[in-house]
Chain A
Amino acid sequence: MSTPFEKDIATDGPLFSVGERVRVDDRRSLGHCRTPFYLRGKEGEVIAIEGPFRDPEKLAYHKPGLPAAYLYRVRFKQDEMWHGYDGSARDRLEADLFEPWLQKASESDIKGGA
């Protein structure tokens, strides 16, 4: 996988690894943020670590966006996301989410594999 165009902004991390189950924080946000509401509280699997990117929640207010935040591609099962999902059990949705919005899915949250 290619690295982001800015390689020198890495901070600690990444905290999560590919294949790991994560849960999107179900918290409120004020102002600009790149975490859609429909994903908050949902669980998915990390499928790629895209590297550090400047934090959009700071960039939006003309700050340098540092420290940078790790960006992950996370894959969700559609039939777990939408009540009465009308499609295949194989259908997935992927989104790009920043590390500060993710937490490790707790053992009790995990209901079978991805």
Chain B
Amino acid sequence: MADPHSHDHSHGHDHDHAPITDPDRPVTEYEVLEQALRELLIEKGMITALDVNQQIDATDSRNPVFGAKIVAKAWADPAFKEKLKADPRATLRELDIEIGHVAELRVVENTADVHHVVVCTLCSCYPRMILGVPPAWYKSTAYRSRVVSEPRSVLSEFGLELSNDTEIRVLDSTADLRFLVIPERPDGTDTMSEDDLAGLVTRDTMIGTARASAS
């Protein structure tokens, strides 16, 4: 049979048969491996294409907006915040958010005295269940190697200057824990609604490379 992907695609329907790949670069060895494994598992009846698609969809549906709502609720409701820090899995289950069985979630809080910043020096562990897919810089060798040994310089390059009165705690997620940072609630936000507060919580504030700002 001729290569099914080499024929002309303008033949009357609106989809392409070939997997969607980045046209700007060649397919990598790992992408070939992933595709071969996926196709084999589907062929053997162990998973279906729908399973794969639903999992991608579920992963993509988690994004920082999700985490921002949790942080805003923690800001607005101190009792919720304490429960969240003490038992994230059970507390988030009450909000119909499942942590899943890949890792445990831990929640830390940034204050004027202590500033947490999260990294995974060994790979790219990230609280995907809350924040979705990590940004490219989080996976870069430069961030992963430098933030552990010179956190103040790295944070300064992110535009975050911290005085020596603030203790910096670098959290290296080396194993089965993922970390969500509750940034410090900005001043002047006492009258804001939870929805408006959530708008102040960016992805980087929940990694610890930025501070939440009211403006």
Known A34-B122, A73-B177, A91-B152; further 14 A-B contacts with Cβ < 8 A: A2-B87, A2-B88, A5-B89, A5-B101, A36-B172, A38-B121, A38-B148, A56-B176, A82-B150, A87-B151, A87-B152, A94-B172, A96-B173, A96-B174
Number of interface residues of A (CB under 8 A): 30
Q: Give chain B's interface secondary structure class.
A: mixed
Q: B residues 91-115 with Cβ under 8 Å of A?
A: 99, 101, 104
**A91 to chain B: closest residue by CB:** B168
Known: A2-B104, A86-B152, A93-B169. A34 touches B89 (CB 8 A): no
User: Does A96 lie within 8 Å of B151, measured CB to CB?
Assistant: no
| Complex contact B174–A34 (CB within 8 A) | yes
The answer to whether A50 and B104 have CB atoms under 8 Å apart is yes
Nearest Cβ on chain A to B105's Cβ, whole angstroms: 9
* Chain A residues within 8 Å of B, Cβ to Cβ: 1-2, 4-5, 34-36, 38, 50, 53, 56, 71, 73, 75, 78, 81-82, 85-88, 90-98
Q: Is the CB of B101 within 8 A of A82?
A: no
Give the contacting residue for B122; candidates A36, A91, A94, A98; CB below 8 A: A36
